Amino acid sequence: MLKKIVYQGVPGSFSEEAAIKYFGAKTERISVQYFEEVFVEVTEGNGEFGVLPLANSLTGGVYEVLDLINVYNLYIVGEVYLPIKHHLLGIPGASIEQITEVYSHPQGFQQCSRFLTSFSQWMKIPYFNTAISAQYIKEQASPNKACIASERAAEIYGLQVLKPSIQNNNHNYTRFIIIGKEILESDNNDKVSIVYSLPHKAGSLFQSLSIFSVHDLNLLRLESRPIPDRPWEFYFYVDFTGNLLADRTRFALELLKEKTTYFKLLGCYKSAAID
């Protein structure tokens, strides 16, 4: 039986590409409209795993997803990095000169802003995501409408690449996480993700980080998010090198729990390479 994988978007979205990169093409892929639905579908068992963008190398964290993984009782079981390449797509036979309107996700516009400054007369219309904008261009079948989306979206929706690789920056990667109902314990795991909050007193963040240092666990990422109802207090999202099967990792987490006012283990998994 094929693995059921849930992602946000439509076929041709970067999330679908990430799902294929991590699990291979032979899966049953379930697309949903909102990030939160990915969590709901996996929680309810309608999908075995979910695939979600967590951060982009240029624009930073996907804060909605960061907030959601703290709320749902699911675990990060893997990660995958996807290079983000944007293309200007139109219907077959269209040319750049005919374009008057361009559709994309707001981040698509932002990440191609240098290319777009040469075409300031184009109306830029924000859309739910890059792949849905490709689907819309296909449906509209107008040579005046273009979208900014991936090569895969061009293939799926039968669109023509009017201009390839229009992104500002070639170091544009998105880190996707794979979420599931249980932590998959393995000797190969080398990365731990946690979230915690701290007593509102001087030095508490430093003290919490010293626990990693003392145990020779390398801090890979630190991100803070506001705690609703507690103005200017924060959840700290930390990734560090470790494996829950190793004593050193478990001891460090035990110590950390004593210092925190809130602690949640988000996952333990094998780190991915950027390629």
User: 149, 19, 179, 11: which is closest to 89 by C-alpha?
Assistant: 149
273 binds a second copy (CB under 8 A): no
Q: Which is nearer to a second copy, 200 or 257 (CB)?
A: 200
Q: Which is nearer to a second copy, 49 or 176 (CB)?
A: 176
Q: Which is nearer to a second copy, 48 or 223 (CB)?
A: 223
Pairing of strands 49-56, 60-61: antiparallel
Question: Of residues 14, 23, 39, 176, which has the active-site annotation?
Answer: 176
Cα of first residue to Cα of last residue in the chain, in angstroms, is 30
125 binds a second copy (CB under 8 A): no
Distance of alpha carbon 51 from alpha carbon 177, whole angstroms: 6
Sign, Cα dihedral of 93, 98, 103, 108: positive
- Does residue 176 carry a catalytic annotation? yes
223 binds a second copy (CB under 8 A): yes
Contacting range for a second copy; rule: CB under 8 A; set: 71-79, 97-105, 215-223, 255-263: 215-223
33 binds a second copy (CB under 8 A): no
Burial of residue 74 (number of CB atoms within 10 Å: 0-12, 13-18, 19+) = buried
202 binds a second copy (CB under 8 A): yes
CB of 113 to a second copy, least distance (A): 12
User: 6, 1, 2, 26: which is closest to 178 by C-alpha?
Assistant: 6
Tokens 């819309």: give the residue. 136
Question: Of residues 130, 174, 249, 260, which has the active-site annotation?
Answer: 174
Distance of alpha carbon 163 from alpha carbon 183, whole angstroms: 43
Active site residues: 174, 176
- In the complex, which residues of this chain contact a second copy (CB under 8 A)? 55-60, 63, 126, 169, 171, 173, 175, 202-203, 205-206, 209-210, 212-213, 218-219, 221-226, 228-232, 274
